[in-house]
Amino acid sequence: MRKLHHLKAQSLIAATTVTLLATPVVTSITTAQAASVTPSSALLKKSNGYYRTHARALGKKYKLAFDAQSALKKNGKAVVYVNTKDKTLKQSVKLAMAYWNKKLGKTEFTQGSKKNHTLTFGVSKAAASKSDQSDAWWTPMTKKLDVRWSYYTAEKQNIGISMTNQLNNAFYKQYADTIETSLPAYTTLKKDVGLVKSTLANEGRKYEYASTIAHEMGHVMGLNHSPNKQDLMYFESGNNNVYSYKKVKAGLSKYNPITTTDKNRAKLALKIYVAAH
């Protein structure tokens, strides 16, 4: 299942004291792009002067949204206040921060407090509409990263049903012609289904929303949507791993959804931001 994500362009800061940050946000996400949006290693080694001079052109070429960088400190780092009591969502936020910190090779995101933060993570009780089916969004003007609560709560059941169906299908495919000898295996099946209901569906959701939140953190750093379907910053995201009983049971701790393109675009966006400040 792929989920829609949303950068609330209508809420972007319209003007700043730094001219280059007023670069218009690129909103087109459906047009095929012939040119690569992956910044090269050489480009990531330029001087601050270069980034200041060429910021507008670089933003257009690599689909950067400078006006979305409202939660960054002068050094380009962000401090997240996690405003939710849901234990699994808290874990998802920590995973999302760890994804980016590991890929960037530095601590870009740290967890803050109610009194010390640059952005707030929370849940929204707003109902979905025909014009907005997104399950999460970043709003630069209010410096809030929100997850839609109704989608989040429903997703645990969706994942559980998917895992249970996989187990049932595999069982009946293997034992359809050997009913008498399948009873021990059926006992194992019931245990597996019980594990889905008690643990694994929630574990799958934890990793799914870690990717969702990491996508929104990409917007926080100034990334607009990527034209590449494999990138975390594609306007839809999702990974079938979280619906797989076997993969979730085996563990997804080594999984990181951030691609090289995502990483290099983030590095460039942050370098331009720091150069401007």
**Contact of 200 with 247, CB cutoff 8 Å:** no
Print the domain residue range for 99.
3-276
Per-residue pLDDT of the chain (277 residues; tens, 9 = 90+): 445 555 554 333 322 333 333 333 333 334 444 579 999 999 999 999 999 999 999 999 999 999 999 999 999 999 999 999 999 999 999 999 999 999 999 999 999 999 999 999 999 999 988 888 899 999 999 999 999 999 999 998 888 888 888 877 776 676 655 655 555 665 665 666 666 666 888 999 999 999 999 999 999 999 999 999 999 999 887 778 898 888 998 888 888 999 999 999 999 999 999 999 9
Question: What percent of the chain is helix, strand and coil (3-state, nearest 5)?
Answer: 50, 10, 35
Split into its structural domains, the chain has a count of 1
**DSSP run (H or E) holding 173:** helix 149-175
Q: Which of 87, 88, 99 is nearest to 206 (CA)?
A: 88
